[in-house]
A and B are shown apart, each in its own frame.
Chain A
Amino acid sequence: MKQAATNSAALQGAGHDKSGSLSANIAKFRELGLLLFIVILSVGVQLRNPSFLTWENISDIATNTAILSILAVGMMLVIITRGIDLSIGATLALSGMVSALTVSQYPDLHPLLAVGVGVGVGLVCGVVIGFLVSWINILPIIATLGMMNVFRGLTFETSGGKWVSAHQMPESFKAIATGSVFGINNLILIAIAIYIVAYYFVSHTRTGRRVYAIGSNPESAEISGIRTGRILWLVYSIMGGLSGLAGVLWVSKFASAQGDTASGYELSVIAACVLGGVSIAGGVGKLSGVILGAVLLGILNNALPMINVSPFWQNFIQGSIILIAVLVNALVKRGIDRNNLMRRKI
């Protein structure tokens, strides 16, 4: 993280030699803080309700967080490029609806094909948005706001305004999200797989590093010959594909596809990213942070009802925690900047 390294340099002064290890330590500060907060929260809830830290409940939280965390990976990439994607809730609904309609029509379809249909629909949605953003140069917030409504409209249109409910879906389809391997729910396994692939992508491939470069300094990226348009397109396509996958998982998990599925869910995903330290200004964001952000939101969703907090207060508390996290981050950064100035001797 930028501020961390600046700070290390501040402490080290002229001798930068040891800054590697020190900056690495402070860079973890944010994730450690988040982790600490999660632990304290869990212990606190556990004291009020002993059934919180049971195997079933933890597995429950993980299952419920899986979809959020899958989407947060894509959103992280989008935000790192200085963009935003408001359409993912609608993309999720559309691809979930299309795959649900498909399996209700062809009950013998292999579940993997159903997943393929959903991912395909999501991918197309993402490609369209990527085209608007990278080629037509429409601001991401406008492009995705527009397409959000388009996709939502399409969802109602394809379903004729009706739901696809549990009895219309074959068991094999519902098993996608409810089944498990070695006692671990499929959703969790899928999320883990996606995080492994994403980690490899962002840290060990050229394209992954270029995503960061574009967000860190777009003009420079252009000058050094990075084809920024293509990378933006790719990023929105990945986001679309993940939304499509999430759509299938969502419909399979809740065994119902509706016109207003996941309405407003994009905001939770953005919140998870922001909590996890992804900078809306672009260029900064880590998978470890994002996953903690998603887990924190998941825990809040699960724990607050368990300790009898009213649903109205739950929203209030979630919002406050996001604001506090951002505030603390800003304060820490300001302090480090000041230290940095003190270092400059005049």
Chain B
Amino acid sequence: MAEAEYVLELRGITKIFPGVKALDDVYFKLKPGEIHALMGENGAGKSTFIKVITGVHAPEEGDMFLNGRKVSFKHPTDAQKAGIAAIYQHVTNYPDLSVTENIFMGHEKIQKGTRRIRWKEMHEEAGRLLKELGAGFSPKTLMGALSVAEQQIVEIAKALSVNAKIIIMDEPTAALTKNESEELYRITERLRDNGASIIFISHRFEDMYRLASKVTVFRDSKYIGTWDVDEISNPDLIVAMVGREISQLFPKTEAKIGEELLRLEGLGKTGYFADVSFSLRRGEILGLTGLVGAGRTEVCETLFGVSKHDKGTIVFKGQELKVKSPKEAMKVGIGYLPEDRQKQGLVLQWGIGRNITLPALKRFSNKGMLNNRKELDLAKQLAEKVGVKAKSVFTLASALSGGNQQKVVFAKLLTGDLDVLILDEPTKGVDVGAKSAIYEMISDLANAGYGIIMVSSEMPEIIGMCDRVAVMREGRITAILDREGLTQEAILAASMDDSAPATDGKRGAGA
């Protein structure tokens, strides 16, 4: 059979989940020996797309061709047999099993006849693959004991062990340092040179320019287009991904910056972060960014009393602050919007109203009895204020869209008498329209005199919304950037560059 022009082609793929179209008439073509970048914002449908290719989800509509022949995968094993391997965004490993077992899970080497596992052979093969990839750990190590970068290498070894012809990498560099990324680039290129075709999903332009020859963009579950990488300019690509000029999305208004609310001095927690210093003033939005795993969430959790720091001090309104629990933090005036609203922010099977008033129940209770009327009034008022779209305050939180759920969590924060709001990835998994509404709300809150710490990995919103940005890398603050010096490049450099200048915290904190 003559070699087909494309090893993989998908036409008109549509995938519907209850209530959402995750993929809407999507196209994709992959040539042999090509590294093809797939880009798009969070929630653009990239991860679902991959799961369609790997047979985890069956699409409602559309066709898939492998080497020109039509295929339809009923089960992940079908895709595996066809030579497709995926390295998922959230490393999908078995922490309690050995590296060898992780590599060979699903295709263990077994003795013909007795079907006994051939451990020795598997350990040897795993050792060989790891060596080839330049890894220094033994195949008998437990997976759970490895770092994220090392686990990533195991995932690649897994793809190699099945002789995959098509390898899909879903944001493999998200949690890696620059050196580790560089290592991954080299490995990826070697895979390509050995004849594999690679689909590379990433948020980082750097990855794309460094590796890919083609780029396909998805936006809001739809197919936008495919270009040669050297054919499309960066601004055009951003427009394709975002679908609008970036600035119009952010209704950032200049709030009046007031007195200092919060100051961190050399804060440290063994194993998580060290030497973190910054300050926050009334009306200010301070961005806290960096790669996943840089320690941002841990710093915030410390501020909110979820966990304890062991070095440095926190000064709140001129006094040293020692909070032991979130309850105390709320009492002094620090509120926290958790990253995972479904798990940490909401009681999904409750109505909107009860969710909103949950942190403030004390206000409506009289000797332990709740005053329902008062509770309801406040819930209605706050729901209106944040603009939750729902029939009534009795609508269940689980029935709301991501954006509306997030608004409910915001309303919850507003019940308290707070000064500082810590927002951890406030627009994660929220659609574009709702994002804009949330940004507006954040701006209003800053205007109302709250000091806001916004933790986010999304570059555009950090640049669009923040007055100052603290960038973290591997547990330390590597730069504090003022609004003038705020560019994507500067943030990326500070969050990734190993040789970035040591913390400039003092200058930034005083500014």
- Give chain A's interface residues, CB within 8 Å of chain B: 2, 4-6, 8-9, 14-17, 19-20, 23, 200, 203-206, 209-210, 212-213, 215-217, 219-226, 283-284, 338, 340-344, 346
Contacts and interface: CB of A to CB of B under 8 A. Distances in A.
Contacts of A340: 271
Main SS class of interface, A: helix
Nearest to A284: B96
Contact of A224 (B95, B105, B116): B105
B117 A217 contact: no
A217 B110 contact: no
Nearest to A224: B106
Q: Which has the most chain A C-beta neighbours within 10 Å: B77, B137, B270, B272?
A: B137
Nearest to B150: A16
Contact of A205 (B56, B76, B96, B117): B117
Contacts of A20: 138, 140-141
B142 interface: yes
B165 interface: no
Interface in B72-130: 75-77, 80, 86, 88, 92-97, 101, 105-106, 108, 110, 115-117, 119
Contact of A223 (B56, B117, B273): B56
A203 to B, nearest CB: 8
B97 A216 contact: yes
B142 A23 contact: yes
Contacts of B117: 203-206, 209
Interface residues of B, number: 43
B495 to A, nearest CB: 15
Given A209-B101, A225-B75, A217 B144 contact: no
B97 A212 contact: yes
Nearest to A343: B271
Given A213-B105, A344-B271, A346-B274, A16 B94 contact: no
B93 A16 contact: no
A14 B147 CA distance: 11
Nearest to B268: A346
B162 to A, nearest CB: 10
Given A2-B96, A223-B88, A225-B106, A8 B270 contact: no
B405 interface: no
B406 interface: no
Contacts of B76: 222-225
B136 interface: yes
Given A15-B136, A217-B93, 6 more contacts: A204-B116, A205-B117, A209-B117, A223-B92, A224-B106, A344-B475
A187 B303 CA distance: 60
A136 B88 CA distance: 29
A206 B108 contact: yes
Contact of B54 (A17, A209, A217, A223): A223
Interface in B38-77: 51, 54-56, 75-77
A277 to B, nearest CB: 12
Contact of B136 (A16, A204, A206, A216): A16
Given A226-B105, A226-B106, A341-B271, A6 B144 contact: yes
